Amino acid sequence: MEKSFLVIGTGEVGLAMLNSLYDQQEKLGRPLTIGVLVQPVSSFIDELHANKRYAGIRIEAVDLVKESNETLASVFGRYDTVICCSGFSIGAGMQVKITQAVLAAGVRKYIPWQFGADYDRIGRGSAQPVFDEQLEVRDMLRAQQKTHWVIVSTGMITSFLFREDFGVISLKDRMVRALGDWQHSLTLTACEDIGALTVAILFHDPEVLDEVVFVAGDTVSFEEIGKLMDLLFGGEFKKTLWDVPHLHKKLEEEPHDVFNRYRLVFTHPGVTWSMDETFNYQNKIPTVGLSQWAKENLSGTVA
């Protein structure tokens, strides 16, 4: 079993991953080598040093965009397992670059940034071009046998559902907008559960290798989401259907709006799966559902 882990990125998912690794270290009662890759100018470096929980953490201050694949590979090669939590925001082509460096380093196991939809099912040419890059990463991993990999499919990160600019749930306007159809479902997983379940998969016996693993905090239809908002916020929300023709029209009118692309792609069946086929359900690991997440994270607004 691996003893050293590198987490790339310190956003919501990266922090959840770090905390879950430290939780696992406490459960094991033995030390793990844990590193985190951050931008060289990141203010988070000081926060890491100041937090007693992260005592002994290895800080790899590396610019993912500017550094060469050779430099990245030399860093990645110091660890048994690399967990990429950098997201799409670092730019097009970066997930391929990171994967190339991981493979060049001969890392034993890689968890790529695939915390999202069932990209195999969605396929190439969807409304969201970054999904094609996810499939390119999968092709690279499946085409080799030196580095083991595990893809953790989580559905939508739960907090994303409440982004005002995404527009599905607007707490400000007390509005719920369904994407495609009111009976269409979304699979949602909270960041903390993404971290905890990924670490549980890494330490599972027998070892999980070279496969796609599905997890979920909840799978709910837009109709259920609408009813839940009414219940949680003590009054009826306005309900609007954004069907597929409407979403296509919006994308044609504003092709550079990334949220128009996300809204359309989340009408695809590949963004949802049943709870009973998930790793957490099959291993009796509790997760945070939509109702619980809203109560815990939207304090002061829930009735």
Give the pLDDT confidence score for residue 247 in this predicted structure.
97
DSSP classification of residue 68: -
Which domains, from first to last, does the chain contain?
A: 4-158+188-217+270-288 (3.40.50.720)
Average pLDDT over residues 197-219: 97
CA-CA distance, 217 to 197, in Å (whole number)?
10
Give the pLDDT confidence score for residue 260 in this predicted structure.
96
pLDDT category, 42, cuts 50, 70, 90?
confident
Q: What is the pLDDT of residues 116-167, one digit of tens each?
A: 999 999 999 998 989 999 999 999 999 999 999 999 999 999 999 999 999 9
Q: What is the pLDDT of residues 248-276, one digit of tens each?
A: 999 999 999 999 999 999 999 999 999 99
pLDDT category, 234, cuts 50, 70, 90?
confident
Give the pLDDT confidence score for residue 47 in this predicted structure.
84
CA-CA distance, 15 to 10, in Å (whole number)?
5
Give the pLDDT confidence score for residue 300 in this predicted structure.
56
pLDDT at 282 over 80: yes
Long-range contacts of 280-283 (CB under 8 A, 24+ apart): 280/193, 280/197, 280/200, 280/215, 280/216, 281/216, 283/200, 283/204
Average pLDDT over residues 265-288: 98
Whole-model pTM?
Answer: 0.95
